[in-house]
Amino acid sequence: MNEEITIEQQLQDELSRLKRAVEYIEQAEKNIQLAQELNKDNQSKFEVVIKSNENLKNEINTQITATSKRFEQITHELNKLTTIISKQNKRIEENHQEIERIKSLKWYQKLFN
Amino acid at 65: T
Q: From CA 100, how far away is CA 112, in angstroms rounded?
A: 14
pLDDT in tens, 27-78: 999 999 999 999 999 999 999 999 999 999 999 999 999 999 999 999 999 9
Q: Is the pTM of this model over 0.85?
A: no
Separation CA 52–CA 1 (nearest Å): 76
Residue 90: which pLDDT band, with cuts at 50, 70 and 90?
Answer: very high
Confirm if 102 and 108 have CB atoms less than 8 A apart. Answer: yes
Q: In angstroms, rounded to a whole number, what is the distance separating the alpha carbons of residues 18 and 12?
A: 10
Quote the CA–CA distance of 28 and 59 in Å, as a whole number.
Answer: 46
Question: Residue 25 pLDDT > 90, yes or no?
Answer: yes
